[in-house]
Amino acid sequence: MAHEYTATVTWQRSSGAKFTDNKYPRAHTWRFDGGASVPASSSPLVVPAPLSDPAGVDPEEAFVASLSACHMLFFLFHAAKKGFVIERYEDNAVGVMGKNAEGRTAMVKVTLRPSITWVGDKQPAAADLDAMHHQSHLDCYIANSVKTEVTVEH
């Protein structure tokens, strides 16, 4: 099963910006095949504003959101398969930058902290939750693609 995914990332130098002085704006746009357009920027934690746009999504935030969303989508699938009904799923995921084993700056850990509202007579036990989170992590394409430690606190 080979699938191809595309994104168009566009940055444009501001009129009159020197560029070689490294004082150019980092704001740019991500466009996806379904038509979504997302304002993006470097992280203001890395490149201070006004050169970064704090309102834009930065690659580090997108990485954390990508892991969270992938895990959630598989979790929803497994819960439905087991007959559990989820009313709401909200994850306050956190990524931590640091030095990896090679001494390079990397996203070294992502912690997923899902809060799940269940409805109906059939409610999952702690063992069910553990099993569904474990299987969701094993199934997540994004988690399978990175070296970052991913943990789930529930």
Residue 10: give its domain's CATH number. Answer: 3.30.300.20
Domain boundary among 57, 80, 99: 57
Same domain, 36 and 85: no
Q: Please report, in tens digits, the pLDDT of each residue of the chain (154 residues total).
A: 789 999 999 999 988 888 999 999 999 999 999 999 999 999 999 999 999 999 999 999 999 999 999 999 999 999 999 999 999 999 999 999 999 999 999 999 999 999 999 999 999 999 999 999 999 999 999 999 999 999 999 8
State the residue range of the domain holding 43.
1-57
Same domain, 123 and 144: yes
Domain boundary among 29, 57, 85: 57
Sign of CA dihedral 73, 144, 146, 148: positive
- Report whether 143 contacts 67 (CB < 8 A): yes
Same domain, 50 and 123: no
Same domain, 33 and 85: no
Please report the pLDDT score of residue 9 as a whole number.
97
pTM value?
0.93
For 145, the token pair is 């693609």
Note the maximum CA span of the chain. Answer: 64
